[in-house]
Amino acid sequence: MNIIKYFSPLLKEKEFIDGLPVVIRVRKFDEAAAKEFSEQVSKAQNTGQPIVPVIIDSYGGQVYSLMSMISDIKHSKIPVATMIQGKAMSCGAILFSFGTEGRRYMDSDATLMIHDVSSSGWGKIEEIKQTLKKPRD
């Protein structure tokens, strides 16, 4: 029985495991989502599954929550497959890029969007550069 084949049409692996795999779905990037992500990655390490599937469908969120998730992926003992279903915007796009090389999948109808970095109160990088170039009165 190929369990992985049935949870997502994006991941077509021929790896077999006993029991159900841990499948992580990322919709938000906040402290609660980062905590849940960490718990699920940890759980996946102990199931015997050959891969950690991370399905992303998110508009983005808090960067520090993203950084926590990236750390979990970097410390995973097994490969992490990132898959976009629907959308991966902002933090979602960055998380997608941290999937194990050769294990990043995107549905043909999905959207991947990354944008310029912005600073609260100061604007985006290009806006800050333009402001700094203007002569002061």
Specify the pTM.
0.75
Q: Mind spelling out the 3-state secondary structure of 29-73?
A: ECHHHHHHHHHHHHHHHCCCCCCEEEEEEECCECHHHHHHHHHHH
Query: Could you tell me if 1 and 20 are in contact, meaning their C-beta atoms sit under 8 angstroms apart?
Result: no
Residue-wise pLDDT tens digits, 66-82: 999 999 999 999 999 99
End-to-end CA distance of the chain: 72
Rounded to the nearest integer, the mean pLDDT of the chain is 83
Nearest-angstrom CA–CA distance, 5 and 24? 15
CATH topology of domain 3-133: 2-enoyl-CoA Hydratase; Chain A, domain 1 (3.90.226)
Q: Please name the residues in contact with 41: beta carbons below 8 A apart, sequence gap of 6 or more.
A: 24, 52, 72, 73, 76, 80
Q: What per-residue confidence (pLDDT) applies to 129?
A: 73
Q: Using 70 as the pLDDT threshold, list the residues of the chain that sit under it.
A: 1-20, 117-125, 128, 131, 134-137
